[in-house]
């Protein structure tokens, strides 16, 4: 188990100076993940909030080799680098044991870049893909994505008198990726750094492709006090909107608070706690949308029960 003392002595691979919003979860996630390994790292980064805000020319917050890719091709970009590394290592031109990570938002992962991500995983490239899931296209104006929750208000699915925000439930992308039967996949949250770092380490060291889906609250898009980002991450887990679990060598395991909830050692909070905490769901508190709230709770319960059946607690 990695300790805070051990992590504090490591060289930072992601540093200060970025222009991400106050309260953004993405730099928290990146620091935790990059501190999970002592190996040299090469990163590809899909277009999005994280990319544009960390590399404003002539400045960068990246203390590792870093490549900007378009929305749709961050996975094949890092897969190409990994392939070149293998060839150079066979020729004796590279001696280091390098690891490869790709970062993308939910728009670049759930939607625009899914095809290329699926292909890179199917081909067996050894890299870890990290989805920074803030549940919308935040960089371009808070448009809905395949990760946006039912009932959320965005600029492309506004709430009104007839429509309660987004009409669809989000994709279960982690399960979709697991269907590729890759060595390692997991869901994580920045509030539980121990769980995050351990999962990142497993993913980085996996003998093949790995996937880490991380909830990344966005104060601007979700409309909450920026000081509450870590608490918002915790709330996502405690309501089972975002269960913590991993898929390792063909088996599911609940982790962190999710494991304690399943074992009866921690209370599962109602979905109303999640919805009331964010402005994007405030309209759902009106009596006319009570049925939508019930549908959201029923869907969370259904997905949670399925996960418990799959998991070896």
pLDDT per position as a tens digit, 205-217 = 999 999 999 999 9
* Res 69: pLDDT: 95
- Read off the pLDDT of each residue in 54-71 and give the average, rounded to a whole number: 94
Residue 71 near residue 45 (C-beta atoms within 8 A): no
Task: Express each pLDDT in 146-188 by its tens digit.
Answer: 999 999 999 999 999 999 999 999 999 999 999 999 999 999 9
Where residue 196 falls among pLDDT bands split at 50, 70, 90?
A: very high
Q: Look over the chain and give the mean of its residue pLDDT values, rounded to a whole number.
A: 96
Q: What is the pLDDT of residue 313?
A: 55
CB 39 within 8 A of CB 99: yes
Instruction: List pLDDT tens digits, range 105-156.
Output: 999 999 999 999 999 999 999 999 999 999 999 999 999 999 999 999 999 9
- pLDDT score at 10: 82
Task: Enter the pTM of the model.
Answer: 0.96
43, pLDDT greater than 70: yes
Topology, domain 4-310: Rossmann fold (3.40.50)
Helix (H) or strand (E) holding 190: none
- Look up residue 62 and give its DSSP letter: B
- Predicted pLDDT of residue 5: 77
pLDDT at 220 over 90: yes
Instruction: Give the separation between CA 180 and CA 122, rounded to whole angstroms.
Output: 7
């Amino acid at each position: 188990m990695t300790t805070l003392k051990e992590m504090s002595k490591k060289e930072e691979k992601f540093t200060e100076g970025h222009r991400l919003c106050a309260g953004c979860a993405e730099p928290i996630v990146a620091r935790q993940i990059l501190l999970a390994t002592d190996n040299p790292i090469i990163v590809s980064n899909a277009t999005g909030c994280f990319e544009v805000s960390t590399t404003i020319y002539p400045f960068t917050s990246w203390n590792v080799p870093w490549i900007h890719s378009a929305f749709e091709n961050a996975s094949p970009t890092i897969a190409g680098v990994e392939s070149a590394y293998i060839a150079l290592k066979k020729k004796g031109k590279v001696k280091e044991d390098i690891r490869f990570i790709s970062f993308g938002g939910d728009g670049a992962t759930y939607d625009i870049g899914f095809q290329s991500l699926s292909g890179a995983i199917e081909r067996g490239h050894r890299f870890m893909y990290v989805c920074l899931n803030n549940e919308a296209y935040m960089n371009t104006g808070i448009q809905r994505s395949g990760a946006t929750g039912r009932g959320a208000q965005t600029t492309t699915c506004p709430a009104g008198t007839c429509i309660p925000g987004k009409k669809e439930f989000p994709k279960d992308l982690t399960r979709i990726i697991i269907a590729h039967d890759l060595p390692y996949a997991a869901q994580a949250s920045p509030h539980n750094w121990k769980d995050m770092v351990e999962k990142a380490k497993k993913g980085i060291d996996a003998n093949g492709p790995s996937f880490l889906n991380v909830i990344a609250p966005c104060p601007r898009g979700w409309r909450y006090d920026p000081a509450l980002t870590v608490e918002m991450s915790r709330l996502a887990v405690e309501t089972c909107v975002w269960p913590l679990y991993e898929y390792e060598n063909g088996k599911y395991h609940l982790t962190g608070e999710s494991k304690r909830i399943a074992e009866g050692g921690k209370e599962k909070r109602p979905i109303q706690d999640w919805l009331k905490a964010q402005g994007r769901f405030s309209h759902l508190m009106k009596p006319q949308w009570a049925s939508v709230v019930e549908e959201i709770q029923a869907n969370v319960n259904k997905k949670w029960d399925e996960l418990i059946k799959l998991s070896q607690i």
